[in-house]
Structure 1
Amino acid sequence: MYKKFIGIDLGGTSVKLAILTAEGDIQQKWSIPTNISDEGTHIVPDIIASIKHHLNLYQMTADDFQGIGMGSPGAVDREAGTVDGAFNLNWKTPQPVREAIEREIGIPIYIDNDANVAALGEKWRGAGADDRDVVFVTLGTGVGGGIIAEGNLIHGTAGSGGEIGHMTVEPGGFDCTCGKKGCLETVASATGVVKLARKHAEEYAGNSQLKFIIDDGQEITSKMIFDLAKEDDELAVLVVDRAAYYLGLACSHIGNLLNPAYIVIGGGVSAAGEYLLEQVRTYFADFSFPNVKKTTHIKLAALGNDAGIVGAAYLALTEISK
């Protein structure tokens, strides 16, 4: 009887938790709101209380589990089990997450950055088909990423390996929150696509529902832009083409550097689906080394919101088996 795992995906609005088998099947999952008040001091105690409550509920004990895995925003010190700089959680100082959870629950816990953990989920049980070489790019309010090369997560010398969102794709382009200009995040995230739409609307003279909405001062979202593009709104089609160009360019750099089997695209913007990916693949092919063009495939993520909890279980599984 293989022991089970607990996966934790810590986000700014909710914490997703699950009990999983050693094969990565979710047996139970639930979520709790992330309470960021009082400098985030309630977050870890809430997680502990929720795990205790559910173990009670399912009549399970610490002995039923091999490990806990957790994905967290911010800078994770994997050795110390601490999280620093998670500003969306209101954590202003390093948080001793591992120490608190291990002490209260009695199960070893392994923590990594949330984008890395989601990458592990897609690699193991998602679009990555358990290949040893998979890169995950998540297009949400920002652009995150995780790189798995020859079976290992790439962290880099100071933990910034896989900062795909901050590849420069338009020198001198839009300002980024990181302080640079022209990062992929500024043109391919949900907010980036809206920025592109506003920029191109200024110069666009043709007939377009999207231009009317923007000029009228109404709110626009990336979903609206993709929906209008699918209806052949000329400005929206142009904007999606630009976003696909930058994504295809970034994917070609990833492909030429790492030649992964799969570059998996997930996050909210990926809801545009194959419509977006077809265009990304076209630009990827234009910019990629011939052998990379043939052997690296761009796919849509398969796990949706479960990538984090599945990847967290896989993180614990692989760390324990080391």
Structure 2
Amino acid sequence: MNYCFGVDIGGTTVKLGLFEFNGTIVDKWEIKTYTENEGAAILPDVAKSIASKMEEHQMKKEQILGIGVGVPAPVADGIVNGSANLGWKYKNVKAELEELTGIKVKVGNDANVAALGEMWKGGGQGNKDLIMVTLGTGVGGGIIVDGRILGGFHGAGGEIGHLCVNYEETEVCGCGGRGCLEQYASATGVVRLAKRRLAKNDDETILREEEITAKAVFDAVKANDAVAMEIAEEFGRYLGYALANLATAVDPSVIVIGGGVSKAGEVLLQYIEKYFRERMFFANAKVQFALAKLGNEAGICGAAKLIL
């Protein structure tokens, strides 16, 4: 029997999975990410954890087809030129991990890798062309064309969160730009829209009674709160229009929405799809929308798929 490992390196934890050749998950576990000293311990810790798991399952190196890795940074040819979350400046992840383990390694950006996972086993299953959007603290994205990650020359393909969607914005995004999609469609972006709307007038809304979070906004939408529904419309307009533009360029069969905000469920898709349909190119009329299904497993599944 042949196996591979899927590794999803995050700023707090590293998630790992052991997969059979047919894609079955044999084992999954986590280790802490130590980012001190420019993240020097991260790859050695991953290598040790994999070696210990191989010993536990009594596996020989010849049985391992490879190690797939997702990292929170642009990746080109297995090399990361800086990752704020991990403390890395320059890191040849592929070469270093291959040297530590003696096993073939493939590396990709974590959002792109998660998109591959959702295509393989999640919300995009059965499709080879998809856009995945992750709505969390920021807005991440991955684009899959003909079953392959669109990584781009600099490894920054699929950075959907930094499409400019508002040319009049004066506040600065975390990336240094202005008017980025992330400023309106992330969890923090939804809160920003909500605060702006609440400051506009004294309209009655249950949002004034609690701490404002993206979850609170969409819970209020489900309770037919008029102000919350206005906020959701604005969120949907920014994201729907951005995805309509993107679909014109890459022509997906499905758009998968994941990340913490997607836990709002189907109600979220209604607002996004409404505005997508309003601005889409006619050839994209049959594009489907789906919620991500793999949650925290998307990264390890996609990383394994890099190998399989």
User: Which interval holds the TM-score relative to the shorter structure?
Assistant: over 0.9
Consecutive unaligned residues of structure 1, counting only runs of 5 or more, are 214-218, 318-322
Greater displacement, 162-171 / 181-190 = 162-171
Aligned counterpart in structure 1 of residue 194 of structure 2, from 192, 197, 217: 197
Aligned counterpart, 2:248: 256
Q: Summarize deviations over 1:249-270 as a string: whole Å, max 9, x none.
A: 1111122222211011111111
CA RMSD of aligned residues (A): 1.5
* Aligned partner (choices 139, 153, 156) of residue 152 of structure 2: 156
For 1:46, the equivalent position in structure 2 comes to 45
Q: Hey, what's the Cα distance between the residues in 2 that align with 1:168 and 1:261?
A: 24
Q: Distance in 2 between matches of 1:200 and 1:238?
A: 8
> Given residue 9 of structure 2, which amino acid in structure 1 is its aligned partner?
L
Identity of aligned residues (%): 44
- Aligned-partner residue type, residue 227 of structure 1: D
Q: 1:188 aligns with which of 185, 188, 206?
A: 185
Do residues 311 (structure 1) and 302 (structure 2) align?
yes
Residue by residue over 1:204-251, the C-alpha shift from the partner in whole angstroms, topping out at 9 and shown as x without a partner, is 3211121344xxxxx432112211221222222211121111111111
TM-score scaled by length of structure 2: 0.95
TM score, norm. by length of structure 1: 0.91
| CA distance in 1 between partners of 2:49 and 2:177 (Å) | 40
Equivalent residue number for residue 279 of structure 1: 271
* Number of matched pairs: 307
Structure 1 match to 2:110: 114
Amino acid in the other structure paired with 1:201: L
Q: CA deviation at 1:47?
A: 0.9
Structure 2 gap ranges (5+): none
AA of the residue aligned to 1:311? G
* Superposed counterparts of 1:156-305, under 5 Å: 156-173=152-169, 174-213=171-210, 219-293=211-285, 295-305=286-296
1:120 Cα shift?
Answer: 0.7
Q: Give the whole-Å Cα distance in 2 for the aligned partners of 1:302 and 1:90.
A: 30
Contact 1:204 1:235 in 2 (8 A): no
1:12 aligns with 2:11: yes
SS in 1 for 2:51: helix
Cα distance, 1:64 vs. partner? 1.5
Per the alignment, in what secondary structure is the counterpart of residue 119 of structure 2? helix
User: What does 1:18-33 align with in structure 2 at a 5 Å threshold?
Assistant: 18-33=17-32
Contact 2:194 2:212 in 1 (8 A): no
User: Quick one: distance in 2 between partners of 1:48 and 1:204?
Assistant: 56
